[in-house]
Chains A and B, each alone.
Chain A
Amino acid sequence: AQSVTQLGSHVSVSEGALVLLRCNYSSSVPPYLFWYVQYPNQGLQLLLKYTTGATLVKGINGFEAEFKKSETSFHLTKPSAHMSDAAEYFCAVIRQPGRRALTFGSGTRLQVQP
């Protein structure tokens, strides 16, 4: 069974700075990995996903993530933070083959300082 760990429940960056949100997964089989964003009082929006193929995945709003099997990581990055990026970010995995439901990490709140 798969699970995910998000390091850092809160991350604060300055506007224009690099955003790095960390996600590690436990793996016994190749995973399907996802990043979601949740703005205050809203539902979750899919940012990007990794299933197979290219390990660098580009998503919406300038975000990207790299699947590193050797490190069992799927960190989310954005070169330059914008105030509108302030939100809660969730890493998620499909826990086992044939199962479609997502198992979520505990979330990371991103604050962007002016």
Chain B
Amino acid sequence: DTAVSQTPKYLVTQMGNDKSIKCEQNLGHDTMYWYKQDSKKFLKIMFSYNNKELIINETVPNRFSPKSPDKAHLNLHINSLELGDSAVYFCASSQAAQGSGQYFGPGTRLTVT
């Protein structure tokens, strides 16, 4: 059973479109995250949710809107896609304890043309 899953794995779309990426975890964790990995492999936190409540929102354009219907799911919706949004997006989850390791999904490679 996959611990953290994301769909789709690949997403190719045109500028201006709206797209969503879904994430699910079956680990029973109560905190979930979205990270962005750019073309130079640099990873940066975008959002964090704890029990469906947004706790971190790092200077991300408001075209990006996370939604957590329950604590096992954290979806990412992106409006009006731009070329600079091309990246790999990783979902992760962890227990609430601060020192808990995070478990990452396989990533979604978004290409905006």
Contact = CB atoms under 8 A, between A and B. Distances in A.
- Which residue, of B45, B48, B105, B106, has the highest number of chain A Cβ atoms within 10 A? B45
A27 B61 CA distance: 29
Given A32-B99, A44-B90, A101 B45 contact: yes
Contacts of A98: 98
Nearest to A51: B99
A19 to B, nearest CB: 19
Interface in A58-114: 88, 90, 94, 97-104, 106-107
B56 A99 contact: yes
A94 B96 CA distance: 13
Interface in A1-55: 32, 34, 36, 38, 41-46, 49, 51-52
Contacts of A44: 43, 90, 92, 104
- Which residue, of A45, A103, A104, has the highest number of chain B Cβ atoms within 10 A? A104
Given A49-B101, A97-B98, A103 B45 contact: yes
A52 B45 CA distance: 24
Given A100-B98, A101-B33, A42 B106 contact: yes
A100 B102 CA distance: 9
Contacts of A101: 33, 45, 48, 56, 58
Chain B residues touching A, majority SS = strand
Interface residues of A, number: 26
Contacts of A97: 98
Interface of B: 4, 31, 33, 35, 40-45, 48, 50, 55-56, 58, 90, 92, 94, 96, 98-107
Which 6 pairs from chain A and chain B are nearest by CB?
A51-B99, A43-B104, A101-B45, A46-B101, A104-B43, A44-B104
Given A43-B90, A98-B98, A100-B94, 10 more contacts: A32-B98, A43-B106, A43-B107, A44-B43, A44-B92, A44-B104, A88-B41, A100-B98, A101-B56, A107-B42
